[in-house]
Amino acid sequence: MAQAIAFYVIAACILGFGVLVISTKDTVHSVLFLVLDFLFVAALYVLLGAPFLAAIQVLVYAGGIVVLYLFVVMLVNLKRPPEAHSDPHRRTKLGFGLAAAVLVELGAIAAQGYAHPAAAIAAPATAAIPVSGNTEQVGWLLYTSYLIPFEIASMLLLVAMIGAIVLAKREL
């Protein structure tokens, strides 16, 4: 019961701040709402019993990536008022179409979940993990079952980093 209440409060905060992120005019305020949003997502992870993921969420997203966003926003528009869009209502139909597609997709997923409740939460072989503790389990899974996806993700990040350096620095 208490968990359900906590979940709905956190979920409402996430959605509310999400709406504020896209509806606020001031870009810096919008970035700040994004930070709050990420913090509540971290709270959701804590509620789900994943403290490691929650700490990483705060460290990487709220504390790392959004600081860089803020940097860029502060450096780009130093107190120049935001320019009005030439036609804010263009592509309204496309927007509604995309939103409807996402809604249908979510509905399909929810219907699938209700139809096959066991399949929705198929925990892959949690019994086979020989370590206890959330951090240890995440580490064990990353370096055994999910080693190749993990390495591919690391390679992608490395490539992105080298690409950024090459783009930013013309003479190496």
Partner 1 sequence: MIDQLLIPLLKIVIVLNATLVGVTYMVLLERKVIAWAQSRLGPMRVGPYGVLQPIADAIKLMIKEDITPVRADRWVFTAAPIISMVPALIVYAVIPFGPTIHLFGRPVSLYITDINVGLLYIVSVASVGVYGIILAGYASNSKYPLLASLRASAQLISYEVAVTLTLVSVILMAGSLSMVEIVNAQYNQHAWFVFLQPVAFVIVLIGGLAETNRAPFDLPEAEQELTGGFHTEYSGMRFALFFLAEYANMIVVSSVVVTLFFGGWLPPLPNTAWAHFLYYVPSWAWFLIKSFCFLYLFIWIRATLPRYRYDQLMNIGWKVLIPLAIANLVVTGIVKVLVM
Asked if residue 48 binds partner 1 (CB under 8 A), the reply is: no
* Helices 27-47 & 66-76 angle (0-180, nearest 10): 180
Q: Which of 19, 67, 155, 156 binds partner 1 (CB under 8 A)?
A: 67
Asked if residue 160 binds partner 1 (CB under 8 A), the reply is: no
Report the half-sphere exposure of 74 (CA within 13 A, side-chain side): 8
Query: Do residues 38 and 18 touch, judged by C-beta distance below 8 A?
Result: no
Site stretch for partner 1 (CB under 8 A), options 66-74, 92-100, 114-122, 156-164: 66-74
Residues 123-142 that bind partner 1 (CB under 8 A): 133-135
Binding residues for partner 1, total number by CB under 8 A = 27
Site stretch for partner 1 (CB under 8 A), options 10-18, 55-63, 80-88, 105-113: 55-63
Q: Which of 14, 34, 41, 62 binds partner 1 (CB under 8 A)?
A: 62
Distance (Å, whole) CA 172 – CA 159: 17
Three-state helix/strand/coil letters over 63-132: HHHHHHHHHHHHHHCCCCCCCCCCCCCCCHHHHHHHHHHHHHHHHHHHHHHHHCHHHHCCCCCHHHCCCC
Q: Which of 34, 44, 58, 141 binds partner 1 (CB under 8 A)?
A: 58
The nearest distance, CB 84 to partner 1, in angstroms, is 21
Site stretch for partner 1 (CB under 8 A), options 59-67, 111-119, 140-148, 151-159: 59-67
Asked if residue 143 binds partner 1 (CB under 8 A), the reply is: no
Dihedral in degrees, nearest 10, Cα atoms 80, 84, 86, 87: 150
* Helices 134-143 & 147-168 angle (0-180, nearest 10): 80
| Interface residue list for partner 1 (CB under 8 A) | 26, 28-29, 32, 35, 39, 51-52, 54-56, 58-59, 62-64, 67-68, 70-71, 74-75, 78-79, 133-135
